[in-house]
Structure 1
Amino acid sequence: MSLSNTSITEAMIIRENTISCIEYISTISGFCVVTISTPLRLLSLGYAIDYFSSSSAACKILTLIVMWARAQYAWFIALACVDRFLCSSSSTKLRALSSVRFASYSIPFAVLIVGLTFSHILFYYEIAFPKQLCSALRRVYQTFIGIWLLIAYSVGPPIIMLSFGLGTIQHIRQSIRRTGTNPNPHLIQNQQQQQQQRRSKKTDRQLIQMMFVQCIVFILTASLPAIQYIYTSARTNLIIDYLQAAKDSAFNYVSGFISLTKFFMEFNLQDHHDFSINNIIPKLEPSLRTIRQRRWRENQRHKFDSNQITLPLSTTDNSESNLSSSTSSQNFEDNPFISGDVDAVGVIHEQHLVCVGGGLQNDYSFNEGDDSYDDK
């Protein structure tokens, strides 16, 4: 999932958007967690190679990197929700904060703050003898790190996601009301406006459901390491047998692996509804319009070439009506501004005038005997 998100985001036209920058960095942080933590755990469980306990410096640095990357990923997702809240606001001052320039300052600031909040790991993590395990030796610090993980990693970011996500949906509703308000309150809204409102309500309901599911999944999976730290600190002075020690070790490993599942089940609701597609389509629309016009002209040219008998517009001279089909076809091909469908009696049913200007080609059609024309 992280690799696909990275490749898709890098190939998108919206890379210059703030949400693209933030999610690109969050994907990189999640990818670092998966590629660093998972191989280290597999080596420890399958081959009894524990790099965390190889030295005191490795214990401190590796633990800091893993916890830092996990928390950084969560706070980047929360920062993306804040950016969507600012971008959808009706206030020009708040919308001005949703810019690439502001994101270039907020992303390093978020990295620095999260790193400082976990810098205490360098002072309290040591190798515990005789088990050769990298852990917090002091019981008070074990309780503190468990509570700190709950606040700074498990519960804090989901609360911000939920709060600013609901605020974003409220801003979208307000913008729909402003743009869709009927200037005459006595007129009944037409069926199209009613359908648009129903679709908007359905989409808002789905977004709220996705938001709650994402926050609940994040809290449940991210809370397990914090619960494990608190549980371990509460049983430090207890004398346990080998069976209970095996149970505690199994709970430790299982909670660690479950906490990694959120990096594989990533779905970011803040850009799936209105922002990704609506940012891509306006930029692709000129190219798509040009492609549609080019294909339409090619189809009309193929239709014209498929006629075996073609006659010129003027039918006053009967001698001109006996021209060969190849000569008439060549005359029409030489004129790039007129193309049409001609039947066996030589009546042009539809003529297409191609007006070139401003870098785009606009096609107009008019019927024989009719002054009106249609803009293609």
Structure 2
Amino acid sequence: MSTAMSTTIISTLTVVTFEMNRYFSILILLFGTIGNVLNVLIFHQPKHRTNPCAVYFFYASIAGLIALYSGLASRVFAIFSLDASATNATICKLRAFIVWVSTTASSWLLTYATIDRYCISCRDVRRRNLSNLRFTRRLMIFAVVSGSLIFAETFYCYVPNLRNSPLTCYGQNMACRLYNEIASALAFVFIPSIIMLIFGYATVQNVRKLLFSIAPTTSTHGTTMTMKKTDRQLIQMLIVQIILLTIFNIPLAIQRLYLTSTLNVPKSLLRSAIENLCFQLFYLLSFMSFGMPFYIYTLTGTVFRNEFMELFRFVSRKVRIAAF
């Protein structure tokens, strides 16, 4: 490949990477904010506050909002050269810590929700009894505390003003990056994904057994049937989210490990440009997983969709009353 052609390709890749970061970051942040805020409003309704799975969804949406703003807002600010985390050490470390804790907590809250749905779908009364709010609160606290302990190293490892790294605010040396990539790959992606897939599959099997074994009677109508329908749709919504969460987050985890393992390998400018484009793309896809739950729930759950429409009509009435 000629030098002129190589230079042209590098220039094109650089422009594509910059424009992708500019527009996709804003779009993901915008739609993610709208979706997560609506999730919070819907799952905060009184009828959902006693459902452990809905409580997990509620706090996962809050964690998703925090992850989106701590992870993508700096990219939007960088467009206007206003990203303080790129130059200020304190903001850099704090932002990295919040990103990792919020993303990990969100992932584990969905993991716990999967386990909760498995428990509620079991015939064993002891397992069903594990689905309760007291246990839910303990697990949520555990998720935040354990995430904070795992990624406390960011206050030492992360430094701003880095040049040869995927992000300006990043791990300062090989040891820091290696620990961070392995910890994030395991705690944020692989372990939660494996647990979610296992319990998700087991839940589907349990639901199938229940559907085939329960004969319709007069007692299955009314409130009881409605609750069962809600539980089934929560499972359906959760399964779809698990699949997409796994698909969107695994590429970034692999790319991070690859970049760290080849940190000391000499690379051409073209190879660096390609790797940077891949990293930025996978980074955006990873954060897209925190912005899409509302749209997944709306498409896959009729109960959730109906509640959203009720919320929309309620807000519309309030707006009309306020206008007059």
TM-score, normalising length: structure 2? 0.67
Q: Which structure has more RCO (C-alpha within 8 Å, separation ≥ 6)?
A: 2
1:85 Cα shift?
Answer: 1.1
What does 1:262-277 correspond to in 2, within 5 Å? 262-266=289-293
Rounded to whole Å, the distance in 2 between the matches of 1:98 and 1:224 is: 33
Equivalent residue, structure 1, for 2:124: 91
Q: Flag the structure with higher helix content.
A: 2
Instruction: Please give the per-residue CA displacement for 1:119-169, whole angstroms capped at 9, x wherever unaligned.
Output: 222232223556793211222332332232222112222221111122222
1:244 Cα shift?
Answer: 4.3
The aligned length equals 254
Does the CA-based 8 Å contact 1:139-1:236 persist in structure 2? yes
Percent identity (aligned): 24
Please point out which of 172, 185, 208 is paired with 1:150: 185
TM-score, normalising length: structure 1? 0.58
Equivalent residue, structure 2, for 1:363: none
The alignment status of 1:67 with 2:100, answered yes or no, reads yes
1:43 Cα shift?
Answer: 1.2
Does the CA-based 8 Å contact 1:71-1:152 persist in structure 2? yes
CA 1:14–1:69: 2 relative to 1, 3 Å: same
Instruction: Please give the per-residue CA displacement for 1:23-75, whole angstroms capped at 9, x wherever unaligned.
Output: 1100110111123322211112x122332233222221110101111111111
In structure 2, stretches of 5+ residues that fail to align are 1-34, 217-232, 308-324
Please point out which of 47, 62, 68 is paired with 1:13: 47
Please point out which of 154, 167, 171 is paired with 1:136: 171
- AA aligned to 1:118 is F
Equivalent residue, structure 1, for 2:245: 218
Rounded to whole Å, the distance in 1 between the matches of 2:269 and 2:117 is: 52
In structure 1, stretches of 5+ residues that fail to align are 182-205, 281-376
Does the CA-based 8 Å contact 2:36-2:294 persist in structure 1? no
Please point out which of 84, 88, 101 is paired with 1:55: 88
Rounded to whole Å, the distance in 2 between the matches of 1:21 and 1:109 is: 15
CA 1:179–1:273: 2 relative to 1, 3 Å: farther
Equivalent residue, structure 1, for 2:255: 228
- AA aligned to 2:39 is N
The structure with the largest alpha-carbon Rg is 1
CA 1:77–1:142: 2 relative to 1, 3 Å: same
CA 1:238–1:259: 2 relative to 1, 3 Å: same
CA 1:274–1:259: 2 relative to 1, 3 Å: closer
Does the CA-based 8 Å contact 1:84-1:270 persist in structure 2? no
- AA aligned to 2:152 is S
Equivalent residue, structure 2, for 1:78: 111
Does the CA-based 8 Å contact 1:161-1:215 persist in structure 2? yes
Rounded to whole Å, the distance in 2 between the matches of 1:249 and 1:28 is: 30
2:85 is paired with a residue whose SS is: coil
Please point out which of 244, 256, 259 is paired with 2:283: 256
Equivalent residue, structure 1, for 2:229: none
CA RMSD of aligned residues (A): 3.4
- AA aligned to 1:111 is V
